[in-house]
Each structure stands twice: as C-alpha cells, then as structure tokens.
Structure 1
Amino acid sequence: MKRLVILGGGESGVGTALLGKQKGYEVFVSDKNGISKKYKEVLLNNEIDFEENQHTESKILSADVVMKSPGIPDKVALILQLKENSIPVISEIEFAAQFTAATIVGITGSNGKTTTTLLLHHILKNAGLNVGVAGNIGDSFAQQVAEQSYESYVLELSSFQLDGIESFNSHIAILTNITPDHLDRYEYDFNKYIDSKFRITKNQTATDYLIYDADDDAINNWLKENKTSAKLVPFSLEKELEYGAYIKDNNIIININKDKINMPLSTLSVKGKHNTKNAMAATMAAQLLKARKQVIIESLEDFEGAEHRLENVAKVRGVEYINDSKATNVNATYYALECMDKTTIWIVGGVDKGNDYNDLLPLVREKVKAIVCLGVDNDKIKNTFGYVVDIIVETAGAEEAVKVSQKLAESGEAVLLSPACASFDLFENYEDRGRQFKNAVRNL
C-alpha cells in the first residue's frame, strides 16, 4: 500500500486525503498549525490519521508521495529534505487529475482568474454541460473527483498549484495576464513567476488550446522565446485579429470557428476593460467546448460577477461603497481605479508582496481625493502618494476605515476598498477582509 502524506490540513489537504483514502492509499495529514474544527471532523469521520501543530519528520519522510498545500513555499527545510530523499512533492491538482477522465479547462493569470472561471462555469452550466468548478474556488478539486462524476471541470489555478504539477494537463488553458505578484515566493525574479504561470501549457499537445491576452508583453515575450504545442487562441482590445477575439466599433468579435460571434460591448453584465477580456477568454473556451452561440450571449448578459471583486455594497447618504477586497496586487487595483467614474476615497494596504505603486500615480492623481490605509505598515503607501493626495489617514481595522471614509466622503462620491495587498496582517484572508468591510458599511 502506497503512503500518501499531506502537508496542510485545509481545503486542498483534506480533499486530497478523502480521494487518497478512496483510492487505497495509506493517508497521513500533517499541519504545522492547528486544523480547523470543520476539517478535523471530516478527518475523524473518515478515520484518516493526522497531526496538528507539528510536523513529525519520521512520519513524513516515510512517504511514497507528498501533496503539499499551495501555501507552503518550496524553500522550507522539510520540502528540501523530501526532495533530497527523492520523494515526489506534488500539488492537489496533480494528484487528483490522474483519477478523472473529465475535460479540464485550466485558468491562470495574475488577475481575472476568478471572474473568468465563474463566468465560464456559468456559460457551460447554462449550455447543459455536466461541469464542476474548483481550484481556488469552492470545494477542492480532489474532493469533487472523489465524490462527483462531472464530465468537465473549470479550474482556477494559482502559480503555486502549477509549481506542483508533473503530468497534469488542461485541454483548454487560459492565461488572463501576467503582472508582478507573489514575487516574495519567486526570489523577486519576475521571469521565474512568468515561467511558473506558463507551466499550464507544459503538457499540452497539438489537439489542446492556449487562450491568452495578446496585449500582454510578458506573455508575448515568453511565446516568442519558448515553444508550446498547443493551438494559440489570442484575444486583444488593441488590435484586430484574423483568428481570436477583438473589438471593432464597440462590438466584441469572436472569430475562431464557423459560428462567428458579434456582440455589443454594452450587453456585458460586468463592466471595465479587464472584464471585457475575461468575457472574451470565457466565450472562446465555451465555443471550443461546443456551447451554442445564443446560450453564450445570454449568459454574458446575466452573469453576476465574483464576490469581493468590484462588488457594489450599498449607497449610504449618496455615497457608493465598493468592495474590491480581492484586489491583492497593484494590477488588480489599477483595474478598479480605472473603472471609477466618481471622486474616490480609496482604502488600501495590507501585507506588501514587493509592490511598486508608481503605475497607479496617474489614476490616483485624477480620481482619488483621500487615502485610508488599512495595514500594519503603510510607509510605502505614504511615501508614494503623499505628494499627490492631500489626505492620508491610517486605520487599524475595517470598521475604523469605513467610519473614517464616511467622514471624508461627500454625496456623489465613492468609497473603494481595493487594497493592492495580501490581507494576513489584520484579517484571515481577503474574503474575511471583504466581509468585515461590508458589515461595517451596513452598520453605518
């Protein structure tokens, strides 16, 4: 019996444990921190051996294969030790994929992954496909492979999940964009991060597809210098393409098969240039999976968007409150500010992953009248924007940030939470940050 050791007792770890047990592995879960009550109950109910608040080396180094949660860096001593002992260390996605014959659409990129994933899932479900959604969203991929019988999956994949793949493949891969993010995990080398994203195409063959942003320099440069076997399917807002998706006369034109789609931009339910790109990518993937044109168009019109992504929370005394907590990097916040058509009070800050805020200066100068900092260390924000914004206030939590913003905002203006940073200093995760913001707004 093969021994499967799982590092991390969260969503992906516990899902992998269930699948591993079902497939006849001897399973052991080890978490350096505590395991939450919800997941502990699943492990106990399924009689899966686990430990928490420690890693017992002898129990881990006896593994035939190790699945590590995406949050654990490759550089920690235990992982290096496993690799020295030639024990394969893989991601949940790699482990689970070998047990399903489903058609997989894998979606990665620095921004737009979640929206594109949810939008494509929405279209395919409406088109009558038996389709699951997983990756960074909802129940883990491994748990769904164990318990469901989906014929297709739409998977949102982070670079950390892709770092742990060997033979995993997406029949359709979508690369939304690449901008500097998580550089702390890639030795502050942007090229290493780019290579990591492109692992999504490493096992693709000539019968597979790579849908990508043809306006993105990092993507274009990689494609010039490296080969992929997949058929390239580009989308662009800047140029007309003979094959792919582009904009002409305020219409989205999609020309990848005989069923050409022509749709007015104004009918898209999600606004902003970045969402136009997300819609192009999702539409082309849906067409490649034989969804009908009419279903695609109707789905694009009634899609509701992702929670914590430019989500309208409420209007209080004439002031709009917008939750964009999912903006954990500068590029995502750039999109958010670009979409703002009112004078804005901007709530920003958190754990900086090596951010360069300079790209935001023109937008901040044009649209932002005050900055409310929401982080433990805000020096970089104050240094960057101190010359262009008169008012910068530091706060110690969502409630205080909202109250300060309310004082600063006048009727007809907007308060935007778009932190450009990770959330681990004051919150559990970006969802917790977004929920606390929404609660504070509702209590005004």
Structure 2
Amino acid sequence: IYGTAWRTEKELGTYLHMLEEAEKRDHRKLGKQLNFFHLQEEATGSVFWHPKGWTLYREIEAYVRRRLETDGYAEVKTPQLVDRALWEASGHWEKFRENMFTAEAEDDRTLALKPMNCPCHVQIFRQGIKSYRDLPLRMAEFGSCHRNEPSGALHGIMRVRAFTQDDAHIFCTEDQITEESVKFCALLQSIYSDFGFDEVRVKFSDRPEVRAGADDVWDRAESALTDATTAAELETTLNPGEGAFYGPKLEFVLRDAIGRDWQCGTLQVDFVLPERLDAEYVAEDGSRRRPVMLHRAILGSMERWIGIIIEQFSGRMPPWLAPVQIVVASITDSANGYAQKVADTAAAMGLRVETDLRNEKISYKVREHSVGKVPFILAVGGREEEAGSVALRRLGSQDQQVVDMMTALSQLQAECLPPDLARAEKLAAE
C-alpha cells in the first residue's frame, strides 16, 4: 500500500487528471482498439504487429532512414546470433550476461542473441584499413535486439524482450567529438519536433562505480562530452553515476501532452570499446590510432517510441503517420464505382486509402471510421459522382465540405506529406 501527498488541492487535481488521461491513452488499450498489434503468452515480451501497426512502424522507419541519409549515415545490418567470444572481448558478457539469451551450437560454441549492436558495428569498421580521411564514419542500423527482461518488468510494447533500436555509431577522432555531437543534437531536436515534442530536457550521466577503462580515459571522455554540450548550447542536469560501463552519456528526456517524462535519445562517448575490440585507423602522420566511438540513438527503440506516440496522440496520429489516411465511403450502392475511382486516384497519388462500399448508412460508416481515428473521410453519392466532387469530413469535425475531387486529393496529399519531405518541397519551390 502506498499513498501520495500534495501541498494544494490544485496539485492533487492535476495529478488525478493526469492519471485519468493516462488510462484513456493507454497504448495497450488503444493498440487493440485500433488493431495495431497484440501480445500473447506464447511470445512473452515480443510484439505481433498487425497490418495497420506495421504500416505505422514502416512509416516511422522510412522517415528516420531519410533523415539519417541526409545527415551522412551509411546503413548496415549485422547478425542476430554472435559467438560469446565477441561479447567477452567487448566486456558485455561479464556485465550483461544475465540479460542475454544464449544458445548452444553443435560444435559446443555458445552463441548469444545480441542485446545491443555496438560490438558488431566495430567489426564492420575493422574490415579493411581505415584512414583519418574516412572519419567521421557514421554507421546506422535498425538493429533487432533481445534482452531477457524479467516478466514482471514487461509493459505492453514499451518494455519488451525483442525490440529494434534506431542505433548508430560515429567513429571519429577526438578533435571531431564536439562537431559530431553538435550535429547529432541538432538532428535529434529536429526529429523530436517533427513528432510534436518540443520540450526536451538533457541529463548528463557520468562514470558509474562499475566501469571499464582507466580514470584518465574517463576524464577525457567526460571533458569531451561537457565541451559538446557547451557548443550545442544545451542545459544539462547531472545524473551521477548513471553512465554506461564504457563511457559517459547524455540522456534526452521528452515531456508528453499530459506532463509525463520519457527518456528516449542518448549520446555516449566511448574510448573503451575501440580499444577492447582493436579498432584503429591510420593517422595523418602514418601512425595507428584508436577512433573514438560515439554511441547514439534518437527514438530509443521503435516499439517503445510507437507506444509513446500512441499515448501522446491518444491514437489519433498526424495524417503523415496514420496507417489509413483516407476512407472513401459510398452513400449508395450506385456510387460504389465512383468511390473506387476516387480511391484508386488517391492511391496513385501515394496516399494510404481504403474504401467502404458496405450497404450501411453513411452516418454509421463515418462514426465507425472516426472511432478508428482515420484523419479524412470522403463520402460520395450520386450528386458527387455527377459533379466530380467529394464530401470531405475531417476527424474531430462535424463540418463537411463538398470539394472537387482532384482539388480535395491534392490538398490532402500536401497535408499527408511527412514533415521532412514537406520542407524539401518548400525549399525546392523557393
């Protein structure tokens, strides 16, 4: 049994309202209601993505991929099962073993499902000779990871055992840490803003008690990260002893629509792993040197991020993210052919569209698709077919506009454009 105490009745009221809103927005309830995903005991901690949920997932992934490509990242893919020898060399076996899923191979080798991607990215870096001219090298992966989380700690799709990180590692020189960190922070803040998160706090997590690497290495890493926060003009609060075992980190904390905080992005400076895994490059003077490794993520994991935005938007996704952006609903059976023509035209314009040609009242169809959080409903009947128009209704509005079909679809096409593509289109038009 536990209780809370509040200084004023107003503060208590705010807290109770937040609890009420959190229950309404619960991603587990909305995920089922909107047919996005389900969870079941036979795959505890893993997500069964349904078509609509997987569409949302792929749209987010495509958006992040475009942003990374624009910022000079090269995408890679690394194995799921990796011999324990690599995890021993990296230090993860000693410090993370209890959270790893393992399997025995026929040749008595122990393999582990990767809980993170960083040692595998170092293996790619080590292939072939790298020069200082190759740095910074930005390597990204939508990396599938597994962690043996206790069943009691699992929570919907926000805390799972199988997840995908929007992971990337930047291999650079010490002199490049500040510039790369500033560049990353700008990308991160832009991406958060595109998802509607403009309130971001930053925590500085310094050396933990149990760590790898000598104190002088940690001194350099913490100093470099401090310089980066100054250059990026970030205000930080200290999070003592919460750094990773190989380096200090920044944690980026978002505040959602009902005042809750979510730690999502990270930036970590690592001098240790390149040393342990023998990563090196040829410096300008011909000597062999260790690169610095910047570990960075923006969303954290795809699953958790989707859970967060479901709750942020109460399931009512912005048009660019909505799995179904438009439903074309026929008012009468005789308008079914025209409804299909409107839908085919919308699909050809790159819009995600479905038709509702059932023999039901249009009010029933509108209500059902409104509950399904479809941003735009186009109702068409005999009059609309004759005029080449559609009756446009926006989610949350009782108003209906009768608009020329192509005018309506062109307008909706612009409204459904992802924010990065909308900016690019605007820039091209200037």
Same fold by TM-score greater than 0.5: no
Q: What interval of TM-score do these two structures reach, taking the shorter chain for normalisation?
A: under 0.3
Kindly indicate whether structure 1 or structure 2 has the higher relative contact order, using CA contacts under 8 Å at least 6 residues apart.
2
TM-score (norm 1): 0.21
Normalized per residue, which structure has more helix? 2
